[in-house]
């Protein structure tokens, strides 16, 4: 490999990128757009679930229960109902997703028997929301229960130890606020890098074939490796710039906690950029049309990285066969790495497995791309 020819190709390519508004637009605008769209648009947190309150008792305790439901941001009261019929209608119309029913005699039953029942009704057409809202309701009731219990024990002069209550005190690590944005945004960076990276390089060789410049180029002493590394160098720089931009937005704008080392982040990001750009380049060499190559690059990155990288859809919840398929999606490893670096502060060594997977991937793709190029019109 001759460094001078490599540099000549890289320089030429840089000039062409600079003068091709389409490439530049893809390179610079797509990440901005996607970061905003995906960072803001995708959130798994369910807040302000519309709640109908049907308080049949109207006591001080029942009002306290209603207040505890709406005190946090999980529920928001949209209607106060007076009859069963109204409850039915409200659920049918979908004006509320959840309803809280406090039966008559709730307070009396509770303080005489020590047990009383509240009813919550959920509209489960959206199962995920219903599930999450059920969880919220249980949490609120459990807390309420603990407060009431303490009060009841105090009133009856029974010590807590004698009652033998077991309290679970859950601690959540790495994402203390259980904020799904902290979980999703690093994945968004991986998706953007995969899309932009593969798109950029998918155009580069096919453009030479399409414009008829390849015939003269292959009559020179340039080699497949010089062409590949020369062409990939400027795009690699653009890809890293995009990644730096997206990662900075993740850390400073979306305020995803960053606990790892910058060095680990740079090394792994460069590695992933190499994989996706190698893939785009391979397609560009194989398919002599810009449109065809970029379409296939889009197909090969868009769906796998969104569905099978674990960025929103947890991989361990998928059927075994799908999990096996996800092993060949490079974004899966980078998403895992990003989450580990951001939220856990993992070191390179702790991420050895996904890093090794990316190294193998990069090696295979670069090798395939180098071999796919033929200095011939055949």
Partner 1 sequence: MSSAGARIAITASGVSRHFGELAAVSGVDLSIARGEIFGLVGPDGAGKTTLMRMLAGVLRPDAGSITLDGIDVLADPEAVKPRLSYMPQRFGLYEDLTVAENIFFYAELFGGAPAERRARTAELLEAAGMAPFRRRLAGQLSGGMKQKLGLVCALIHQPSVLLLDEPTTGVDPVSRRDFWAILYNLRESGVTIMFSTAYMDEAERCSRLALMHAGKVRLCDTPARLKQAMPGVLLAVSAPDPRAVRAALAEAPGVLGVLLKGDHVNLRADSTARAGEFAAILGARGIAYTAITPEAPGIEDVFVALTGAQAAS
Strand partners, 52: 79, 99
Q: How far is it, in rounded angstroms, from Cα 60 to Cα 111?
A: 14
Q: How far is it, in rounded angstroms, from Cα 127 to Cα 129?
A: 6
As measured in angstroms, the least distance from the Cβ of 11 to partner 1 is: 8
Terminal CA-CA length for the chain: 24
Q: How far is CA 122 from CA 45, 129, 141, 356, in A?
A: 17, 9, 15, 46
Angle between helices 204-211 and 180-202 (to 10 degrees): 30
As measured in angstroms, the least distance from the Cβ of 15 to partner 1 is: 6
The residue among 156 and 211 lying less far from partner 1, judged by its C-beta, is 211
Q: How far is it, in rounded angstroms, from Cα 259 to Cα 77?
A: 38
Strand partners, 75: 49
The residue among 209 and 236 lying less far from partner 1, judged by its C-beta, is 209
Residue written as token pair 């209608």: 89
Contacts with partner 1, residue ranges (CB under 8 A) = 2, 4-5, 7-8, 11-12, 15-16, 19-20, 211-223, 375-378
Strand partners, 99: 52, 121
Q: How far is it, in rounded angstroms, from Cα 239 to Cα 342?
A: 20
As measured in angstroms, the least distance from the Cβ of 34 to partner 1 is: 27
The residue among 10 and 194 lying less far from partner 1, judged by its C-beta, is 10
Q: How far is it, in rounded angstroms, from Cα 108 to Cα 127?
A: 35
Q: How far is it, in rounded angstroms, from Cα 245 to Cα 87?
A: 50
As measured in angstroms, the least distance from the Cβ of 208 to partner 1 is: 9
As measured in angstroms, the least distance from the Cβ of 203 to partner 1 is: 13
Q: How far is CA 218 from CA 28, 223, 375, in A?
A: 31, 8, 5
Max distance between CA atoms of the chain, in angstroms, equals 97
**Beta carbons within 8 Å of 162's beta carbon, 6+ residues apart:** none
The residue among 3 and 37 lying less far from partner 1, judged by its C-beta, is 3
CB 335 within 8 A of CB 311: yes
Residue 49 sits at φ, ψ, to 5 deg, of -65, 130
The residue among 21 and 319 lying less far from partner 1, judged by its C-beta, is 21
The residue among 222 and 298 lying less far from partner 1, judged by its C-beta, is 222
The residue among 367 and 374 lying less far from partner 1, judged by its C-beta, is 374
User: Which helix H or strand E contains 75, and what residues bound it?
Assistant: strand 75-80
As measured in angstroms, the least distance from the Cβ of 223 to partner 1 is: 8
52 closest CA partner among 122, 131, 127, 144: 122
As measured in angstroms, the least distance from the Cβ of 3 to partner 1 is: 11
The residue among 61 and 218 lying less far from partner 1, judged by its C-beta, is 218
DSSP designation for 318: S
As measured in angstroms, the least distance from the Cβ of 226 to partner 1 is: 9
As measured in angstroms, the least distance from the Cβ of 211 to partner 1 is: 7
Residue written as token pair 């990069």: 362
The residue among 171 and 211 lying less far from partner 1, judged by its C-beta, is 211
The residue among 16 and 153 lying less far from partner 1, judged by its C-beta, is 16
As measured in angstroms, the least distance from the Cβ of 206 to partner 1 is: 15
């Amino acid at each position: 490999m001759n460094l001078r020819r490599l540099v000549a190709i890289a320089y030429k390519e840089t000039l062409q990128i600079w003068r091709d508004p389409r490439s530049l637009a893809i390179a610079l605008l797509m990440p901005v757009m996607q970061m905003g769209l995906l960072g803001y648009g995708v959130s798994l947190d369910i807040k302000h679930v519309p709640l109908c309150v049907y308080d049949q008792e109207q006591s001080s305790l029942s009002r306290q229960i209603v207040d505890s439901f709406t005190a946090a941001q999980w529920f928001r009261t949209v209607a106060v109902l007076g009859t069963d019929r109204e409850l039915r209608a409200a659920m049918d119309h979908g004006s509320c997703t959840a309803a809280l029913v406090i039966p008559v005699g709730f307070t009396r039953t509770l303080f005489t028997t020590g047990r009383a029942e509240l009813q919550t009704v959920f509209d489960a057409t959206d199962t995920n929301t219903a599930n999450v809202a059920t969880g919220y309701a249980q949490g609120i009731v459990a807390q309420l229960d603990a407060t009431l219990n303490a009060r009841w024990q105090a009133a009856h002069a029974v010590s807590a130890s004698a009652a033998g209550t077991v309290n679970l005190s859950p601690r959540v690590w790495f994402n203390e606020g259980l904020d799904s944005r902290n979980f999703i945004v690093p994945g968004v960076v991986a998706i953007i890098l995969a899309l932009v990276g593969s798109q950029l390089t998918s155009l580069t060789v096919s453009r030479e074939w399409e414009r008829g410049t390849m015939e003269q180029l292959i009559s020179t002493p340039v080699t497949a490796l010089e062409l590949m590394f020369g062409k990939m160098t400027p795009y690699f720089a653009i890809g890293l710039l995009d990644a730096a931009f997206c990662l900075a937005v993740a850390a400073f704008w979306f305020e995803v906690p960053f606990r790892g080392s910058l060095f680990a982040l740079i090394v792994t990001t460069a590695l992933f950029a190499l994989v996706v750009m190698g893939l785009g380049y391979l397609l560009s060499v194989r398919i002599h049309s810009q449109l065809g190559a970029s379409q296939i690059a889009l197909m090969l990155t868009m769906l796998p990285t969104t569905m099978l990288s674990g960025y929103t859809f947890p991989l361990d919840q998928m059927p075994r066969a799908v999990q096996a398929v996800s092993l060949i999606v490079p974004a899966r490893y980078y998403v895992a790495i990003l989450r580990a670096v951001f939220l856990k502060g993992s070191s390179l060594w702790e991420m050895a497995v996904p890093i090794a997977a990316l190294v193998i991937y990069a090696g295979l793709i670069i090798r395939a791309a180098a071999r796919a190029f033929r200095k011939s019109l055949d």
